[in-house]
Chain A
Amino acid sequence: MTNIAAAPSSAETAAQLPTKLAKGFVDRLVIIVPYLWLLFFFLVPFIIVFKISLSQTAISMPPYTPVLDFGDGISGFFAGFRELNFDNYTWLTQDALYFNAYVTSLIIAGISTVLTLIVGYPIAYGMARAPATIRPTLLMLVILPFWTSFLIRVYAWIGILKPEGLLNQVLLATGLISQPLVILNTYTAIFIGIVYSYLPFMVLPLYSSLEKMDYSLIEAAQDLGCPPIGAFWKITFPLSLPGVIAGCLLVFIPAVGEFVIPDLLGGSQTLMIGKTLWNEFFANRDWPVSSAVAVILLLVLTVPIMFFQQAQAKAQEQGK
């Protein structure tokens, strides 16, 4: 009741207030400080990555020859354009390793996202239909693992999935299998790791869209003779679509560039781009090539990231 009364008045003040405030020095400071911080520490670094991806590898510290350096003055800067080399990008297209790593990463992230959705949906649905009194507790139980270290949660699976690990011990003891399963250091282990680590990211947006749903719609459909599964696909799922999209993007985008999971659970046989970039940087010390790998990865992810931002902006609008 209080909500309904408060809604129009807060909408009015929201329109008046910015004009009233906008003149102050403090207000400008509020905008400028985080703005400059993000420009300098988020945007400028990308420009540097792009610049270094066009330079040549050198044995020195830092291990590349600088290009487009303002140290040579403006004319030197423009002269530098002639020296730009796209060798690192040509290199990426010539070596099938990189192409395969990109494609494999996209496929693994895609499959993992679908698996996470399949695992997460029933949990979110069950939570949304739970009695209102226990919902906050259930919500906290989903969030709690997210607070414990990502590295630790991935590490915990090594002990479970090892050939002599707990899963195989249980399966052998119950007689379900006679030979230990090889799961660690395969793509299966990566799927398990991603689904496990990113599950809260899927469940939370799903839950928030399912919780808002009007369940009398389903009762109405069932009264009219629609079977439960039909009602699910015709009503529940379409209404939860914003949550599905948000959850899938929150899982898919970071999963493409994931390093820890493929490195610890996937072993040396599996190929993902985050791991390739890491090895290029730390093992081969080839900064220009790893920069080129990062630039391409960023380009590949531009479209899903823009979708994500639109979804965020839309959610923000609805929140108001």
Chain B
Amino acid sequence: MNGTWSRFNITSIVLGFAFLYLPIVLLIVFSFNESKLVTVWGGFSTKWYVSLFHNQGLMDATWVTARVGVISATVATVLGTLAAITLTRYTRFKGRVLFSGMVFAPLVMPEVITGLSLLLLFVAVGLDRGFFTVTLAHITFTMCFVAVVVQSRLVSFDRSLEEAAMDLGAPPVKTFFQITLPVILPAIISGWMLAFTLSLDDLVVASFTSGPGATTLPMKIYSQVRLGVTPEINAACTILIAVVAIGVIIASIANKRREVQRQRDEQAAQRG
């Protein structure tokens, strides 16, 4: 296998990853810059992190974003998992084509359209724009991503396990919680994390559907970026990146351990 990995392959991977990571690395490096100019190095300093924690507007926005993220990701995970089950298990029901269309279309739908249409819905039904409407909007577009992630796991799921449980007399709901759920749990967890990061990340949909008092962090960062690049924003971005990176790394390590454990169990079962 090693012989087929040519120098061209290695070069393109190294260059590709340099392209992907260099801007992020530079952003992090310059958040520790003493100078107010973002592009000129003036010595190491953590003063922008200190001033960040005194910026009340930014702290409020962080709190709003975290709450919206947790609530919307949780609801979206439940709805997205149900949608994934519907897509893989119920191949025949009225309106299935429409349903799968509504699950897949939001994945590529330009955010400006999603944002505008949801705002007009909220106005039409008389909901005041704010925390609640942003959360509803985020649930709607993130649940489709959850559905796709969970669905890919369900497709490769060995149905004979469920069959066995039900043959032994377990009702469908119990079968789901004792057999199906533990197997698809890694996909559900990564679905939740994906939904949370998408919510954390969203500027466009939030700008349309949010109201006074519910400014999210991306909206705050965006309004400051428009005024110019500052090390303080670099510092805020660095913290966001660190939070997400730590979460992803912990999740992938946990995932790997579970996978190894599962393989061991399977081998033990086959031997026994």
Contacts and interface: CB of A to CB of B under 8 A. Distances in A.
Interface stretch (B43-51, B56-64, B156-164, B181-189): B156-164
B117 A119 contact: no
Contact of B5 (A10, A130, A200): A130
Contacts of A256: 110
Interface string A259-292: 1100010000000001001100110000100110
Contact of B95 (A20, A35, A164, A203): A35
A187 interface: no
Most buried by B among A37, A274, A298, A320: A37
B27 A159 contact: yes
Contact of A305 (B12, B105, B252): B105
B254 interface: no
A49 B162 CA distance: 44
B176 to A, nearest CB: 9
A52 B119 CA distance: 12
A35 B97 CA distance: 11
A157 B27 CA distance: 9
A308 B102 CA distance: 12
A131 B2 contact: yes
A83 interface: no
A81 interface: no
Contacts of B39: 159, 162, 164-166, 169
Contact of B9 (A129, A150, A291): A129
A199 B159 contact: no
A30 B82 contact: yes
B27 A156 contact: yes
A260 B112 CA distance: 10
B90 A31 contact: yes
A310 to B, nearest CB: 10
B27 A152 contact: yes
Contacts of A158: 225, 229
Contact of B143 (A37, A48, A200): A37
Contacts of B156: 319
B86 A294 contact: no
Contact of B105 (A127, A140, A144, A309): A309
Contacts of B80: 34
A126 B11 CA distance: 8
Nearest to A62: B123
A298 B203 CA distance: 20
B13 A138 contact: yes
A155 B113 contact: no
Interface in A159-204: 159-160, 162, 164-166, 169, 196, 199-200, 203
Contacts of B252: 140
A151 B8 CA distance: 32
A75 interface: no
B240 A309 contact: no
Given A49-B120, A159-B229, A119 B200 contact: no
A45 interface: yes
B260 interface: no
A30 B104 contact: no
B112 A18 contact: no
A2 B267 CA distance: 11
A46 interface: yes
A151 B197 CA distance: 12
A94 interface: no
Interface stretch (A84-92, A233-241, A247-255): A247-255
A14 B208 CA distance: 43
Contact of A49 (B20, B83, B89, B116): B116
Given A38-B102, A159-B229, A290-B116, A147 B197 contact: yes
Contact of B248 (A10, A147, A152): A147
Contacts of B17: 123, 141
A180 B156 CA distance: 54
Given A152-B240, A152-B241, 5 more contacts: A33-B79, A46-B117, A196-B23, A277-B112, A309-B101
The 6 closest A-B pairs by CB, nearest first: A257-B110, A45-B117, A122-B12, A123-B16, A126-B9, A156-B23
30 contacts: A10-B160, A13-B162, A13-B163, A17-B159, A27-B90, A35-B95, A38-B140, A39-B102, A42-B106, A49-B120, A125-B12, A144-B245, A145-B20, A145-B21, A147-B248, A148-B240, A149-B244, A151-B201, A158-B225, A159-B26, A159-B38, A257-B113, A259-B112, A277-B112, A278-B112, A305-B109, A308-B108, A309-B105, A316-B87, A319-B152
